[in-house]
Amino acid sequence: SRFETCWPALMKDSHGVIIIFNPELPSHLKEIEMWYSCFVQQQPLLDSQCLLVAHHKPGSAGDMENLSLAYPLNKLKLIHSNLEEDPEDVRMEFIKYFRSIITIINESREKEEMSIIS
């Protein structure tokens, strides 16, 4: 893609990756494997630092329960967003995700400080 040259700048010092995709487009299901590979595995980030969001457009009859992703994507936290029906659920999931990222950042900072002290 024409943005690939910007990727290293986007990735630099990032602590988390949120991948939003349309589960009804087969091409998106292939693309998220590439995004995961580039932005999570190659950095490397932990799987817990990545959140997948399957976004269902208004009026789409998307089957939310039966989206089965192949390995390694099936190890990731996956939430379904449908802003018509339950925006509050999505908001709570984002808050949980951001809290987990903050915990990871704080833990790695403490480890660094301890290694400097010792």
- Domain assignment of residue 24, yes or no: yes
Provide the pLDDT for residue 64. Answer: 61
Provide the pLDDT for residue 12. Answer: 83
The edge-to-edge listing of strands for the beta sheet with 50-55 is 17-21, 50-55, 77-81
Average pLDDT over residues 64-92: 85
- Domain assignment of residue 94, yes or no: yes
Distance CA 53, CA 22 (A): 9
Q: How many CA atoms does the CB half-sphere of 69 hold within 13 Å? A: 24
Instruction: Using CB atoms within 10 Å of the CB of residue 100, give its burial: 0 to 12 exposed, 13 to 18 middle, 19+ buried.
Output: middle
State the residue range of the domain holding 19: 7-117
- Domain assignment of residue 2, yes or no: no
- The structure's pTM equals 0.83
Provide the pLDDT for residue 61. Answer: 60
Q: How far is CA 52 from CA 10, 31, 100, in A?
A: 18, 12, 15
pLDDT in tens, 32-71: 999 999 999 988 899 999 999 999 887 776 556 678 888 9
How many H helices and E strands in the chain? 3, 3
Number of domains the chain contains: 1
- Domain assignment of residue 1, yes or no: no
